[in-house]
Amino acid sequence: MNRGNGPGPHRSPVILVVAPDERSAEVTIEGRTRVVTGATPKETRRAALDVAAGYAAHLGTSVLINSRDANGAWQLIISPTGVVRAAGGTEVELTAGRGAKAGRPRRGRRVLMAAAGGTLAVAAVAGGGVVAVRMLPDITATRVDSAEDPAVTLEGRSAPPGFTTQAAWRLPTLPGTRPGVAPDGGAAAYVDPEERLTVVGPDGAELWSAELPLPAGDIEGAPTFVSDGDAYGLAVTGSGRLWLWPPSGGAPDEFTLPEGSRVTFAGASALVLGDGRALVPDDGGLRPIAMPSGYGAMLADPGRVLTAVQDGPWRWVGLDGETTEVEPEPPDGAGDLAEVLTARSRYVIVRWVAEEGDQALLAVHDSGDGSVVARTLVDPASLADARWLEGGSVAAYGPVVVDLDNGRATALEGFVPTSAAGDRVYGEAAGVPVAVGADAEPTDLPADVVRPWGLLDGRAVVIADGDLYALTPQ
């Protein structure tokens, strides 16, 4: 096995393409493409190089990278320890996120770094010549490989509103992967640098870990917590299969998915949809649900599935076939029910025809009894690509921000939500990154802010430079 400076033999180069807006990049390795994103152009490039570094470390040999963005194309070589250099040029002793250690001395040539526009430019000075290399990240901050160090600080990034840059702990993850957080804030799951699925508690201590049953790059989405009795198990999908681990870990149940099907976790349980059928994992197999005629399945909760038609009541269907119909209560000012838009375990979002004017009336209904939780008038065109994002006390559907505690909904013109956690929804308003609370007043965010994946016992779970942090509240 080649462990020198050159790329290993007979290996296809990594293809790295940065999108024109520099918010995402495609990294193609052995024919498989992974999309990574970043809040800033520099973060996007860091995330892309982290994926390439992980591949080199997995092979134990340097790999060639064919990279390009709006400014041009070039070649890099990245070593198993994360050292990046221009192909055929001078070595640059910078890490791409995997091999950096606190206090490691840097050998060799002096490195000059400068941000030029949206592209990170690096100049390696050697023998009077200058080699310009794009795509290289900052030197990685000190990594904490356990949760034992109480003095951990988020460096080089801004904390989200309501949190500090002080963290209860920091743990390394496999670059390019995403974490999951349990709905009750009692556990977080992630893939570690050794490609092990790891679950930790609020104190960062490992609860259990397991070997992944598939390559990390084949995981679809993030590990997802699902209801299992009075606790939460963990689900992973990919390569046409679904795996479910019990709350205490151990051996997972494996389910082969029907061809062309997909898995949704809109409810507290996994629901398999495809070819007009709905199936749920049950007793080691996939159990079909007897749906009412004309109805479609929307989500699964333990022991039951929510089904609906476009413009009528919805029905909960039990595994035994028993059906409970829920008739939604018309909100004030509503005419006919226009469309059932989407649903979650506790809520069904419905568009009603407004009795007056040309706006739509959006209402959030209790999924159990159909009562109105919140309602507001909204431009129907703004709902075209909307999706429901739910935090702890605040949610959003398109530009509509919903205070779930006090039953208020507000249409915030120009707001495009991207995520939700705790008491805030994150997104953009007029192209500016913002956080929106229950009052529907947007707060501008720094471009380098980290956004929470969820709250773990009140701490914000974020990823920065490939590390998982639990940021303490203010």
The answer to whether residues 397 and 442 touch, using CB atoms and an 8 Å cutoff, is: no
Closest C-alpha among 345, 348, 346, 338 to residue 308: 348
Position 462 pLDDT exceeds 80: yes
Residue that the structure tokens 């951990």 belong to: 152
Across the chain, mean pLDDT equals 83
More confident site: 466 or 278: 278
| Distance of alpha carbon 265 from alpha carbon 357, whole angstroms | 36
Position 406 pLDDT exceeds 50: yes
Class of residue 118 by CB neighbours under 10 A (exposed 0-12, middle 13-18, buried 19+): middle
Most confident stretch, 102-106, 157-161, 463-467: 157-161
Per-residue DSSP letter, 417 = E
Which pLDDT tens digit goes with each residue over 256-288? Answer: 999 999 999 999 999 999 988 999 999 889 999
Which pLDDT tens digit goes with each residue over 372-394? Answer: 999 999 999 999 889 999 999 99
Position 39 pLDDT exceeds 80: no
Residues 6+ positions from 30 with CB-CB distance below 8 Å: 12
Q: What order of strands is seen across the sheet that includes strand 432-436? A: 415-421, 424-429, 432-436, 442-444
Long-range CB pairs of 228-233, under 8 A, 24+ apart, other chains included: 232/182, 232/183, 232/184, 232/186, 232/187
Per-residue DSSP letter, 218 = G
| Distance of alpha carbon 33 from alpha carbon 207, whole angstroms | 32
pLDDT confidence of residue 304: 97
Position 130 pLDDT exceeds 60: no
Q: pTM here?
A: 0.70
The answer to whether residues 133 and 92 touch, using CB atoms and an 8 Å cutoff, is: yes
Which pLDDT tens digit goes with each residue over 157-181? Answer: 999 999 999 999 999 999 888 999 9
pLDDT confidence of residue 150: 54
Residues 6+ positions from 344 with CB-CB distance below 8 Å: 266, 267, 299, 367, 388, 390
Q: What integer is the mean pLDDT of 82-91?
A: 64
Position 69 pLDDT exceeds 80: no
pLDDT confidence of residue 431: 83
Position 37 pLDDT exceeds 70: yes
pLDDT confidence of residue 88: 56
